[in-house]
Structure 1
């Protein structure tokens, strides 16, 4: 009985040694030391290179300090002398994204508005649209398949471009100030370009021919109207011709 147990233990030990030698790899040959085989330790390939996280551009709300009060409580004198817990509740540390965005919008408006009560000028509208556009851009970096917000962003960009174009024609100094204060780079629209095809050439020739025919008809109508309004007396016609 004891011999059977001893044989089983020897067999289990040999099997475990054989498995360890197989896991070490086919290239690792056993070394002979003192008449017995010394099995090298298995190589573990678990050390992987740590992937660096991609750091994107900072948000427009990153420059807002967390101790700053919300826009509705900044002008209240009692909020400056209250308890620290209440100050924390009224600060940006526990504020939502919309409240932070509202405060950022007020900061941009204060940079470009004409006076303290100005809320409807072109400069203020450009500042509000700039805040919305940057918020849409930050959202689309994480959710690039959000087509509805992308459409809203493109509509806001077109509207801001029209406002800046009109402001540039009316008041160039205010246009430069707005672009400098808000960090906007105004780019001119590209020149009109269309690929010339046979269909487009034929259509253009037809349009020109129709335009010329219409001009001829209008000239004939003007001539008839002038003849109908001309005086019937030949002496008066001669005097009118002279």
Structure 2
């Protein structure tokens, strides 16, 4: 009989503890409930710690990169293959939208940008292989590679292609500058290119080369000092000989 009374008391106390735990606010963390002190249970009561609030993190701002070279192309412009077709001008808006740059691929937009740059520098309408046209095509390609590498900086293959295109454009501009300087200035101005002169001599600065350079400078300074002393001695000897000659002339005249 006493055992049944004890079991009933234990069941009542556990039921009270469950009810108090169920009354905990929903934002209370499970770890806080687990870490609550168990020694404070007294006749169906349960000590609940204060609720733990989890605040939202601040939203990260998206990095805005430099403006693309294709941003000046309006989306309503027709693609290059359909711009000269007269039927597209009389078609409805849906067909024009399908043939416009709004639904065009990146390669089609890049081709249109190349044609725009070529039109700025070409000599006439039939010019498609001159140095100016090659520079315009390489400029559009280089800028496309630069925009791609800003998003995917680990793309080594496209970085190599970009450097090769830059070297090719440098050679073309160097030859154009030597042959026709006015055309060179016009191309740089129209395409927005800043031409920098390459260094006359470049060598990797190793420890051995730096030590050798410092030693050569010391030797050069020592040689210059020695030559200056020799020149001073020569001047003194010449001045002494001149004074002796003057004395002998004076003695002869007397």
Is TM > 0.5 for Structure 1 vs Structure 2?
yes
Counterpart of 1:85 in structure 2 is 94
The number of residue pairs the alignment matches comes to 190
Alignment partner of 1:10 out of 2, 9, 16 = 16
Question: Any unmatched runs of 5+ in structure 1?
Answer: 27-36, 202-242
Counterpart of 2:167 in structure 1 is 158
**Structure 1, 141-150 or 154-163: larger mean CA deviation:** 141-150
In the alignment, structure 1 residue 110 sits paired with structure 2 residue 116: no
Distance verdict in 2 for CA 1:126–1:39, change over 3 Å = same
In the alignment, structure 1 residue 169 sits paired with structure 2 residue 175: no
Shift of 1:73: 1.2
**Aligned equivalents of 2:209 and 2:100: distance in 1?**
63
**Aligned equivalents of 1:67 and 1:85: distance in 2?**
12
**Aligned equivalents of 2:134 and 2:106: distance in 1?**
21
**Structure 1, 174-183 or 102-111: larger mean CA deviation:** 174-183
TM-score scaled by length of structure 2: 0.65
Shift of 1:193: 3.4
| Segments ≥4 residues shifted beyond 6 Å | 37-40
Shift of 1:102: 0.6
Cα root mean square deviation, aligned: 3.3
**Structure 1, 157-166 or 74-83: larger mean CA deviation:** 74-83
In the alignment, structure 1 residue 75 sits paired with structure 2 residue 75: no
Q: Which secondary structure state, in structure 1, belongs to the residue aligned with residue 143 of structure 2? A: helix
Shift of 1:40: 7.8
Contact 2:24 2:48 in 1 (8 A): no
When Rg is computed on C-alpha atoms for both structures, the one with the higher figure is 2
Shift of 1:46: 2.1
Question: Any unmatched runs of 5+ in structure 2?
Answer: 36-45, 214-254
